[in-house]
Structure 1
Amino acid sequence: MTVVSHAQDIDLARLLRPGDSIVVGQACGEPSTLLEGLIAQGAHIGDLSAFVATSFSGIFDPKSAAAVWLSSMGAIGSLRSMSKANAVDIIPCHVSQVAPMITAGDLPCDVAFVQVSPADANGDHSFGLISDYVQAAVARARIVVAEVNDHVPFTLGALLPASQIDHAIEVSRPPVQVPPATIGETDRAIAAYSTSYIDDGAVIQMGVGAVPDAMLQMLVDRRDLGVHSGMVGDGLVDLVEAGAVTNARKRIDRGVTITGALIGTSRLYDFAHRNPEVRMCATSYTHDAGVLSQLDNLVTINSAIEVDLTGQVNAEQSGAAYLGGTGGQVDFVRAGARSPGGRAIMALPATAKGGTVSRITAQLSGPVTTARSEVDVVITEFGAAELRGQNIAERARRLIAIAHPDFQEDLARAAHPIQQRRF
């Protein structure tokens, strides 16, 4: 293992070959210093490509495409500007498919760039803030380059022995942080309807953003909640401190929050540091159907760009603009809908673009992310539409009822042919 202090001290041309494919740790686990070095030196190496699932660092922008061509499973965070500039290739896939594709070679991985914590007494580093597909990347890569950051917490569950690192750089800088979102009146209304489905002892899965943050604020009076989620934010700390999250009633992983990504601020990172009640896991565990089937009362909350009148969900694209991604939505929608006592919630504002566009729509403007056969409950600020077991005509009626009143008449007119038929 070669240890250097700064990315500029690494001659990446000695490590990378023209045409190499690099898999990068995502979200708050982005190895920022390595990426800055890659963008500075990549053009001189030539024909480099990189895969990152999400990016919040702002390091990637359309100009960085001159140094390294980027691909991703979506356009989340700063990748949205890349998508608008046609500077990123979108690979439609679930987040749970990324690691298997790396292992199989379908997603090339010559080099792994990862961010890790300092080593413990045994010489093991923690993956810190991200443990989803990075383990598969390390196992597959010809060269593993690690950014050892003394600001990264030593989280439990996913460790990287120093012997598996080929080159390391030591840095001391705050990792990427995603502060809690600004919560508005619409977010609170959606959250109020959503939390009515979450009782004491429920196991919850949700993402980060204004609606999830509002929901977490409303759950402080619950007791013995469990958490099994692809990602968690700062709101987890609030729920633990309030005594709401104990994980005490889970059939598996009792007493432990299970997640694959910490997406928040130093408050969350400090909380997770060497905390035995937080376990970082790969997507092969967090999103696995066999694991999720062992969770009773699992309530999953996901978001969408739009939902059509039959219940089809688009969480990826609006017209030509790629705005989101498949993420772990389908895995968790299926799990929540099939969990004994559980529910699968799709939460979204009723309108977009300043209220000029209805997000309950007669026809999707983009792809189907989640099939109507999987969708359980759709919630807007105007209420909840329970779709499970309902025929298409009744689905349309219920979805129109939670659309913004300004669009209900047009939607009813569009639904009229549907409601005249029997299914």
Structure 2
Amino acid sequence: MQELQADGLDLKGIVRAGDTILWGQACGEPQTLTEALMAQRAGLGGVNVFLGSGFSSTLKPEYADHLRFVGIGAAGTHRRLTKAGVLDVLPCHVSKMEGYVTDGVIPCDIAFVQVAPADENGHYSLGLISDYIRAAVRRARVVVAEVNARVPQVPCAEPLTAADIDYVIHTDRALVELAPAAITDLDRAIAGFAQGYIPERATLQVGIGAVPEAVMANLRNHRDLSIHSGMLGDSAADLVECGAVTNAYKEIDPGVMVTGALIGTRRLYDFCHRNKGVRMHPLSHTHNIAMLSRLSRFISLNSAIEVDLTGQVNAESINGQYLGAVGGQVDYVRAATASVGGRSMIALPSTAQNGAVSRIVMSLSGPVTTARSDADVIVTEYGAADLRGKPLSQRMKAMIAIAHPAQRENLERAAHAAAKEVA
């Protein structure tokens, strides 16, 4: 392991023309390394970058002059890259990504990682992200680690050691943070209907956004909940501290809150620092359908751009504009519906653009992310449509009932016309 100085870091001796660089996504971005790459891009001879989600201001569309961006979608600040047409989107279930990196399907010549300072055992905690980054470290020709003094030493299933690292720089800089989304009355209304599907002793998976925040806020009076989720936000710490989450009744990892990403603020990071009740795992543990389905009462809550009357879910793009990602939605939908007592919810507001556009639609304006054959419960501020076991005619009625009242007549007409065409 060779130590380099963060100031004046020169990547020319590390990065080769044509290399693909992969780094920790979301709040785990090693910003000193990524900023150096952006600043030095013109002299590196053409480099490929593979991206997960992003919440920093590091990447800009104009950097595509010397970099080729490939990634999983428009999550966070990477939406500006898809909007500019410079991010080549890989539609991929999150559960596949670790294997793709391991097998070289997603190339990785250079891995940039952000880690916590070494502990008393010489272990470097991955800190804020552990999804497919460990696989990238194993696959990469060169591993460059940014040891940031502010990264929490979160317990990891497989931390790094000095033997994993080729080059190291030491920094002490603010971490990427994502504050909890502001909760509106509309979000609370959606959460109120979703709450009815979350029993005591449930194991939760929730995504990012105001609706998940509202749902978590509603669960403070629940008891013996558990969390096994691809990501944790600040609200997870709140539920542990108020006694709602104990992780006591999980069939897998009892007593431990499992995640692959910390996406929150310093409050969450400090809560997870050396906390034996939290453990970071790779995707093969956080998104493994066979494993997750062994958890009883596994409840999955995810969002969508739009849902059609038959239960098809679009979480990716609309009218050719990429706004989201495949993500882990299907992994969790299938795991929850295979779990004994489990339920899968897709929650979304009934309209967009101040009520002008219905998000409950006759036909999707983009791809099918989750098939109607996997649909379980769809929730809006007007109720919950339980689609299990319902034929198409009953599904359409249930979906129209949770659409915005001003949109229901148009949807009924469209459904009627579609039925006549089939007949």
TM-based fold match above 0.5: yes
1:314 and 2:287 aligned: no
Match of 1:239 in 2: 239
Tell me whether 1:92 sits opposite 2:91 in the alignment: yes
The aligned amino acid for 2:183 is: I
| Residue 336 (structure 1) shift | 0.9
Amino acid in structure 2 at the alignment position of 1:404: H
Q: CA 1:376–1:363 in 2, change beyond 3 Å: closer, same or farther? A: same
8 Å CA contact retained: 2:229, 2:286: yes
Q: For residue 215 of structure 1, what is the aligned residue in structure 2?
A: 215
> Does the aligned pair in 2 maintain the 1:55–1:79 contact within 8 Å?
yes
Tell me if 1:107 matches 2:106.
Answer: yes
1:237 CA displacement: 0.9
- SS of the aligned residue for 1:159 comes to coil
Aligned to 1:120: 119
Does the CA contact (< 8 Å) of 1:393 and 1:418 recur in 2?
A: no
TM-score (norm 2): 0.98
Kindly tell me: are residues 364 and 273 of structure 1, through their superposed partners in 2, closer, same or farther at Cα, counting changes over 3 Å? same
Rounded Cα–Cα distance in structure 2 between residues aligned with 1:100 and 1:353: 39
Q: 1:206, CA displacement in angstroms?
A: 0.4
Q: Is 1:41 the counterpart of 2:40 in the alignment?
A: yes
CA contact (8 A) 1:5 1:171 kept: no
Correspondence for 2:30: 31
2:351 is equivalent to residue 373 of structure 1: no
Equivalent-residue separation in structure 2 for 1:213 and 1:162 (angstroms)? 38
State the alpha-carbon separation in 2 of the partners of residues 380 and 303 from structure 1: 10
The aligned amino acid for 2:115 is V
Offset from partner CA, 1:347-403 (integer Å, 9 cap, x none):
000001221110000000000000000010000000000001000010000000000
Normalised by the length of structure 1, the TM-score is 0.98
C-alpha deviation, 1:99, in angstroms:
1.2
2:65 matched to which residue of 1?
66
4+ runs deviating over 4 angstroms: 417-423
Q: Give the conservation status (yes or no) of the 8 Å contact 2:349–2:359.
A: yes
Compared CA separation, residues 394 and 419, structure 1 to 2 (3 A): farther
Deviations 1:150-182 (A, max 9, x none): 100011123001111000110001110000111
Instruction: After TM superposition, give the deviation of residue 419 of structure 1 in Å.
Output: 5.0
1:175 is the counterpart of 2:197:
no
C-alpha contact (below 8 Å) 1:392/1:418 kept by paired residues: no
Q: Cα deviations across residues 46-90 of structure 1 (Å, max 9, x unaligned)?
A: 210111110001111112222422111110111101111011110
- How far did residue 123 of structure 1 move? 1.7
**Following TM superposition, by how much is the alpha carbon of 1:204 offset from its aligned partner in structure 2, in angstroms?**
0.6
CA 1:390/1:419 → structure 2, altered by over 3 Å: closer, same or farther? farther
CA contact (8 A) 1:40 1:67 kept: no
Contact 1:61 1:78 in 2 (8 A): no
Q: Which residue of 1 aligns with 2:227?
A: 227
**1:350–1:403 contact (8 Å) kept in structure 2:** yes
Gaps of 5+ in 2: none
Letter paired with 1:151? R
- Quote the offset at 1:422 in angstroms: 9.6
Q: Which runs of 5+ in 1 are unaligned?
A: none
Identical positions, percent: 53
Say if 2:240 and 2:246, in contact at 8 Å, map to a contact too: yes
Q: Which residue of 1 aligns with 2:264?
A: 264
- 1:198 equivalent in alignment to 2:198: yes
Q: Distance in 2 between matches of 1:136 and 1:340?
A: 31
- Equivalent residue for 2:14? 15
SS at structure 2 position matched to 1:243: coil
> What residue identity is the alignment partner of 1:396?
M
Residue deviations 1:16-51 (CA, integer Å, cap 9, x gap)? 001110011100000111000000111111210111
- How do 1:268-347 and structure 2 match up within 5 A? 268-347=268-347
Offset of residue 5 of structure 1 = 3.5
Question: How many angstroms does 1:421 deviate by?
Answer: 9.2
Q: Offset at 1:417?
A: 4.2
CA distance in 2, matches of 1:338, 1:293: 5
Q: Matched residue of 2:88: which SS?
A: strand
Deviates more, 1:311-320 or 1:97-106: 97-106
Q: Which residue of structure 2 aligns with residue 75 of structure 1? A: 74
Instruction: Tell me how far apart the structure 2 counterparts of residues 122 and 241 of structure 1 sit (CA, whole Å).
Output: 29
Distance in 1 (CA, whole Å) between partners of 2:361 and 2:208 is 25
Residue 129 of structure 1 contacts residue 263 of structure 1 at CA under 8 Å; is this kept in 2? yes
Aligned partner letter, 1:200: E
Equivalent-residue separation in structure 2 for 1:396 and 1:421 (angstroms): 16
Instruction: Check the 8 A contact 2:290/2:335 in 1, yes or no.
Output: no
* C-alpha separation in 1, matches of 2:369 and 2:269: 32
How many residues end up aligned between the 2 structures? 422
Aligned to 1:155: 154
